[in-house]
Chains A and B, each alone.
Chain A
Amino acid sequence: MVKLKVKKQKENRFKLWFMVLPFTFCLLPCLCYSQPVSSSELINNAEQYDGKTVVYAGEVIGEVMARGKFAWVNLSDGKNSIGIWAERELLKELVYRGGYKVRGDWLEVTGIFHRACLYHGGDLDIHAQALTRISSGRAPAEFMSTSKRNFALALSGILFLVFILTQVILRHKNA
């Protein structure tokens, strides 16, 4: 009875290892691989990533610059911005482009990284194969800062006083 129980336990353990090992060796690296690489990592280790497929995510910065069927879009992950060369079709979903009043859409791009792109005169860039919008941007309304307004008003008062005083000094000097 005990022997049977031990055997069953061993079988279960084997089954568990049988399930875990393929996951560890196959699935986990795939999952890790699909984790976005930071811009600093790409720039500082450009040689290592050159010509490889990478996943990079960042906020759309500035304009989408159309060049025929393709377009340039710059994605910033907060540290640096990297130029993405993508088919315009892939950028259809894009709504918000980051600027002063706008927080741009966050895109995740899967594409080939170039340390010195042969097609673009040696630029460090990524040629997109797939683009996904991770989160939508927004254009929050701008409200006047009351502290700045009050400070400006107070300074206006001081300026007026200084002006009056300087006029008095001037008249006194002329007299």
Chain B
Amino acid sequence: MVFKPTIEDIKNIGYYLGRIILGLSLTMSIPLLLGFMLKEINPALDFLIAIEIALIFGMILTRLCYSKKELNWMQGMVIVSLSWLVAMALGAVPLYLSGHWKSYLDACFDAMSGFATTGLVLVQDLDHLSFTHNLWRHLIMFIGGQGVVIVALALFVKGASGAFKMYVGEARDERVLPNVIHTARFIWLVSIVYLVLGTFALATVGIFSGMKPFTAFFHGACIFMAAFDTGGFAPQSQNILYYHSFPFEIVTLVIMFLGAINFKLHYHIWQGNRKEIVRNIETQSLFVSIILTFSLVAIGLKQSGAYPQAFMLFRKGFYQLASAHTGTGYMTIYPAQFITEWSQLALVAVMVAMSLGGAVCSTTGAIKMLRVGIIYKALREDLKRIILPEHSVVVQKYHHIKWVFLEDKQVRSALLITLAYLVLYGAGSIIGMRYGYPFLNSLFESVSAAANVGLSCGITDMTMPAALKVTYILEMWVGRLEFMAVFTLAGFFVALFRGK
């Protein structure tokens, strides 16, 4: 029997949702301040309007649904999935008001792409967008990468035991520290420290590459936020190609890999446990996977003859591949070149890399390396069982911060999530084909959206059908939250209407 959610359930959800909206309005004050500082009057007004709308909704929800009750699992999951939709709707308001997005749906697309750290864009005339709006585009990636709810947890929630339920809902089932709020604050500490260092590194390279100090620092901060959070937005329409700088590409590569590493691993490295990098199943899987997929990319590019020199092939091939594997989506080629210049083998290798992603409890999306490692270990265990004598005891273990014995429960969970991702990739590509796009292009774009990567082969454009835009928005949302929270939300609505 399905139980209908009670008024208390709805009040609790509304209350926390209201607090998250208030938190979001606070983050909007950063671009507002920049707008005033740079005398960008109309962009500042856009943010003032968005803040006011957010405050109105936030205040109404927190007062009407005021509750002191602790969250249960269902409420936590529903709050998380709804908060991402609300963040998208409110985050899109200043973007839409700027006039650089053809419709509110397009602005929502970019807002979800930002929050989910995807990087697909529908913005028009990006090169003339204000500093204020550009900062917001990158800031939403920074917020989304850490997690919308993590912001609220780190800033507004004190000692709430229900916090863990929301934390898990944002596809982070690992706690860096025993207390989830301390974990949220640690994640922010890591991000802020790297933000300062990364911005400085990128700005220095930018200045040496001929940029003016202010622009170099602004671009540095924006690129860092999008690279560390494996997002892929850039202040200029040419993406990373705008800078024409090899050192800039190297720094962004380092930042992308830092973003693709588990925050728990960051913590252990910070604690001096450097051996963990080599022993960890995720870093091992990532290393092997990158070597395998890059080999395919290299063979594919050699076939196509797009790059006559080995260095060029490596520079272009590895950057695109690393960007795909870490789920960033930064490009040093034009989207159309994927189709016109790259061979299908190279394209498929990039797709495989996109679909696998980085580490769990990182800012990346997709299947993730821990699950790939677990599935590989399970396969090895089964093969051993067949090969070895029947009476032998086969035990498989892996190192992930500590030695862990492989259990059926972990394998089942890893396989289920992997299967769910594969279905999502397939569903998106079928819808793409329904609108007349070729199979490979549709699959590429669908994987890119669902795995929160952001590489495009040219389908994502303001002229694409609205239904496809909605499909990609849903893929980005579901892919970022890793299904459970979204399934719970669906169950919640079913229970609301059919429950007793």
Q: Decide if A and B are genuine partners.
A: yes
Beyond the given pairs A47-B341, A152-B48, A158-B56, 7 more chain A to chain B contacts, judged by CB atoms under 8 angstroms and listed by A's residue number, are A45-B340, A47-B340, A62-B236, A74-B238, A122-B313, A122-B315, A122-B316
Are the C-beta atoms of B66 and A148 separated by less than 8 Å?
Answer: no
- Determine which of B46, B131, B236, B332 lies in contact with A81 in the assembled complex, contact meaning CB atoms within 8 Å: B236
* Chain B neighbourhood of A163, CB < 8 A: 59
Are the C-beta atoms of A173 and B66 separated by less than 8 Å?
Answer: yes
Interface string of B194-229 (1 = CB under 8 A from A): 000000000000000111100100000000000000
Are the C-beta atoms of A116 and B40 separated by less than 8 Å?
Answer: no
Bound-state CA distance A156–B212 (Å) is 38
Chain B interface, >50% SS class: helix
Q: How many contacts between A and B, using CB within 8 angstroms? A: 144
Are the C-beta atoms of B40 and A142 separated by less than 8 Å?
Answer: yes
Bound-state CA distance A124–B130 (Å) is 27
- Determine which of B59, B236, B307, B337 lies in contact with A61 in the assembled complex, contact meaning CB atoms within 8 Å: B236
Among the listed stretches A1-9, A26-34, A63-71, which one makes contact with chain B, having 4 or more residues with CB under 8 Å of it? A63-71
Interface string of A135-175 (1 = CB under 8 A from B): 00000001111001101100110110011011001100100
B72 CB within 8 Å of chain A: no
A14 shortest CB reach to chain B, Å? 48
Q: Nearest residue in B to A169 (C-beta to C-beta)?
A: B63
Bound-state CA distance A111–B277 (Å) is 48
* Chain B neighbourhood of A142, CB < 8 A: 39-42
Interface positions of B from 293 to 332, Cβ below 8 Å from A: 306-309, 311-313, 315-316, 332
B3 CB within 8 Å of chain A: no
B128 CB within 8 Å of chain A: yes
Are the C-beta atoms of B238 and A116 separated by less than 8 Å?
Answer: no
Chain A interface, >50% SS class: mixed
Are the C-beta atoms of B307 and A116 separated by less than 8 Å?
Answer: yes
A148-B211 contact given A76-B237, A80-B334, A100-B128, CB 8 Å threshold: no
A57 shortest CB reach to chain B, Å? 16
Interface positions of A from 84 to 102, Cβ below 8 Å from B: 85, 98-101
Are the C-beta atoms of A162 and B60 separated by less than 8 Å?
Answer: yes
A152-B52 contact given A43-B336, A122-B312, CB 8 Å threshold: yes
* Chain B neighbourhood of A113, CB < 8 A: none
* Chain B neighbourhood of A85, CB < 8 A: 244
A148-B46 contact given A74-B242, A173-B66, CB 8 Å threshold: yes
Are the C-beta atoms of A98 and B128 separated by less than 8 Å?
Answer: yes
Are the C-beta atoms of A152 and B55 separated by less than 8 Å?
Answer: no
A11 CB within 8 Å of chain B: no
B333 CB within 8 Å of chain A: yes
A24 shortest CB reach to chain B, Å? 33
| 17 A-B pairs whose Cβ atoms sit less than 8 Å apart in the complex | A63-B211, A65-B210, A65-B244, A76-B127, A83-B238, A100-B130, A103-B128, A116-B306, A121-B311, A122-B309, A122-B315, A142-B39, A142-B42, A148-B46, A148-B49, A155-B49, A155-B52
B64 CB within 8 Å of chain A: yes
A140 shortest CB reach to chain B, Å? 12
A71-B238 contact given A124-B333, A156-B52, A163-B59, CB 8 Å threshold: no
B376 CB within 8 Å of chain A: no
* Chain A neighbourhood of B238, CB < 8 A: 74, 80-81, 83
* Chain B neighbourhood of A16, CB < 8 A: none
* Chain B neighbourhood of A115, CB < 8 A: 306, 341
A123-B215 contact given A67-B209, A118-B309, CB 8 Å threshold: no
B45 CB within 8 Å of chain A: yes
Bound-state CA distance A5–B34 (Å) is 82
Are the C-beta atoms of A43 and B334 separated by less than 8 Å?
Answer: yes
B29 shortest CB reach to chain A, Å? 14
Most chain A CB atoms below 10 A, which of B40, B43, B236, B311: B236
Q: Nearest residue in A to B243 (C-beta to C-beta)?
A: A65
A72 CB within 8 Å of chain B: yes
B246 CB within 8 Å of chain A: yes
Q: Nearest residue in A to B306 (C-beta to C-beta)?
A: A116
Interface positions of A from 25 to 68, Cβ below 8 Å from B: 40, 43-47, 61-67
Interface string of B28-54 (1 = CB under 8 A from A): 000000000001111101101100110
Are the C-beta atoms of B211 and A65 separated by less than 8 Å?
Answer: yes
A120 CB within 8 Å of chain B: yes
Are the C-beta atoms of B308 and A159 separated by less than 8 Å?
Answer: no
Q: Nearest residue in A to B38 (C-beta to C-beta)?
A: A100
B241 CB within 8 Å of chain A: yes
Bound-state CA distance A7–B334 (Å) is 62
A121-B312 contact given A98-B127, A156-B52, CB 8 Å threshold: yes
Are the C-beta atoms of B128 and A123 separated by less than 8 Å?
Answer: no
Q: Nearest residue in A to B209 (C-beta to C-beta)?
A: A65
B297 shortest CB reach to chain A, Å? 13
Are the C-beta atoms of A123 and B60 separated by less than 8 Å?
Answer: no
* Chain A neighbourhood of B209, CB < 8 A: 65, 67
Bound-state CA distance A170–B62 (Å) is 11
Bound-state CA distance A144–B40 (Å) is 9
Are the C-beta atoms of A155 and B334 separated by less than 8 Å?
Answer: no
B129 CB within 8 Å of chain A: yes
Bound-state CA distance A81–B129 (Å) is 15
* Chain A neighbourhood of B46, CB < 8 A: 148
- Determine which of B45, B55, B60, B312 lies in contact with A116 in the assembled complex, contact meaning CB atoms within 8 Å: B312
* Chain B neighbourhood of A44, CB < 8 A: 336, 340
